[in-house]
Amino acid sequence: MKKLIYISLLLLAAVSCQKQLKEVVYSNLTDENAFTTAENAQAAVNSLYSSLHLTYREPMFYINDISTDGGYKGDSYFESMNDVAIYNDNRILVAWNGFFEIVTRANIVIDQVPEMADNLFAGGVTKEQLLGEAYFMRAFAYYNLTDVFFQVPLVTSSKIDPTAREPYAPLAKIETLIENDLFNACDYLPKSYASNKDAGRPSYGAAHGYLARLYMRQAGRARQNAEDASGLWKDALNEVNKVLALEGSVYSLQPTVWNVFDPTSEAGIYNNELIFAIRASGNDLPSGSWDLGLQFTGWNYDMGWGNMYQPLEMTWQFDPADERLTVLQVTEYEDVYSPDETYYRAPSNLAETGAVNKNHTVNGKTYVLMNELAETYTQKYKFLNTWKYIYDTPNNLPLMRLSDMILCKAEILNEISGPTQEAIDLINRVRDRAFQDSAHGLSLASYAGKEDLRSAICDERLFELNMECQRRPDLIRMGLWKDRMTKYINTIKQRYVQKAANEGQEAGYYDPAWAAYPDVATLTDDDIRRYMPVPYREVTLNPSLKDARTLKTE
């Protein structure tokens, strides 16, 4: 039977009542005509990005944010860490499929492109460029698979039996592949691209950034196992320094936090704080456009779909002068349908929970209805098309940006030497931007040891990187998952108790919403719930993946 290699790039077009998703098929490639021109080799590489929108549209936010203290969806299994329900949830299956689709397509490119004649690439894209993207994306996929599921099968060739049922591979073997692939990507990828049409492709800086993250992850695991992690932290420092060496020539810290996410201008969409991002700005990019902006706000605010919010417990931690609160979060608003009658507002602190709707006056204006929000909204992915019923949006999703790397270096320095002025200065670079002054910086004298500053960096990463698919891996690496989840769940319980009291409920009032959360006494430092279960369908199809949860120990 003739084997077919089918490679397509799905570009998300405007989705509205009038428009439907359009699939642009670049190539139907067989053994006879595949990889015979630079153009169809480029199409094969472009196909590596087509899974990203679906994988990150909801799944990775639920997996890495909603499952932590940095995201909120009250009726979600991920929010309440309901392990049994998550096992059957389609979002983890979408993530599994999406990343393994990238692996499969990258394997095809890595196997086929080196066999192509060099003269096919004269004057255009180079073989090295295409291979660099393929190596990076395979490493990216396996990095995320092991971040999400901890242990997965390892497939490195396109010439395999499609009916094979691969067993789990040792994590060390997978991480060696990730490391080697990123080394190759560093050798092949450019430091920057000449055209915005290549936005969304990985670069030299992104490859070194993911190497830094890999070594940091390994070092955090070694620390948790009481092993010497000093060499890994030094490796991480070497890699993050290579990224930060590009500041000024390739990357720059934007003047305000809004500039990082601003979807209203070319300068915002293509801002150079973004090191690696899922970009969206029309159909000329490899990843096309998507409906990301609709996911993060409610219908009554801007006609969004309200699939993901931010928890009050997180919002209450912000300094009121922090623009990451005042600019990037929505805590109150008039109803878009009845702006003169209905108002929504989140309680500004725990004590106010359950009492917001007792006061109908805001800034001297009285409303008929005052509704208390159980969550806040992020403006990082602001939806611009209220009333237009046009759902494609130009929102970028940053997967790595300069402020992240600056905070990574502060974390690495702290793990190597404990609190230092250099580490504090790095954190304060990010804080100075957030507050638009230097009066809110951290002081070295406030931190007695590594643990104190590690906790402060963990908080700063929450303030800076919330709803960017980083929180759960951060908590695991820093060994603070149990600590932060315990605090989060306890504060949720306090909120329900306070809400009941302010609403005049009888003492001991039972709220089933609170009961959905686990008993914090069951949380452990090496809790298997830090990771996601392998999807039910995969376990059913592949018996070698049985008892997957028992393998997720370090």
Q: How far is CA 399 from CA 52, 206, 293, in A?
A: 11, 10, 16
Instruction: Return the amino acid letter for 327.
Output: V
Give the tokens for residue 446.
């406030």
Q: With H, G, I as helix, E, B as strand and everything else as coil, classify residue 527.
A: coil
- Spatial separation of the C-alpha atoms in residues 411 and 423, rounded to whole Å: 7
pLDDT digits (tens, 9 = 90+) for 201-249: 999 999 999 999 999 999 999 999 999 999 999 999 999 999 999 999 9
Q: What is the pLDDT of residue 438?
A: 97
Q: What is the DSSP letter of 333?
A: E
Give the tokens for residue 238.
């070497």
Q: Where are the beta strands (DSSP E) in 152-305?
A: 274-278
pLDDT digits (tens, 9 = 90+) for 9-47: 332 222 223 333 334 344 455 666 789 999 999 999 999
Contact 206, 276 (CB under 8 A): yes
Q: Which one, of 315, 309, 248, 238, lies nearest residue 491 by Cα?
A: 315
The alpha carbon of residue 255 and the mean position of all alpha carbons in its chain are separated, in whole angstroms, by 23
* Number of CB atoms found within 10 A of residue 87's CB: 17
pLDDT digits (tens, 9 = 90+) for 118-169: 999 988 899 999 999 999 999 999 999 999 999 999 999 999 887 888 999 9
Which burial class, exposed, middle or buried, applies to 388 when counting CB atoms under 10 A from its CB (0-12, 13-18, 19+)? exposed
User: Who has greater pLDDT, 266 or 173?
Assistant: 173
Q: What pTM, to 2 d.p., does this model score? A: 0.92
User: Who has greater pLDDT, 517 or 15?
Assistant: 517
Residue 2 pLDDT > 80: no
Q: What is the DSSP letter of 466?
A: T
**Percent of the chain that is helix, strand, coil (3-state, to 5):** 50, 10, 40
Q: Which of 53-57, 63-67, 176-180, 322-326 has the lowest mean pLDDT?
A: 53-57
Bridge partners of 400, per DSSP, are 276
Q: What is the pLDDT of residue 11?
A: 27
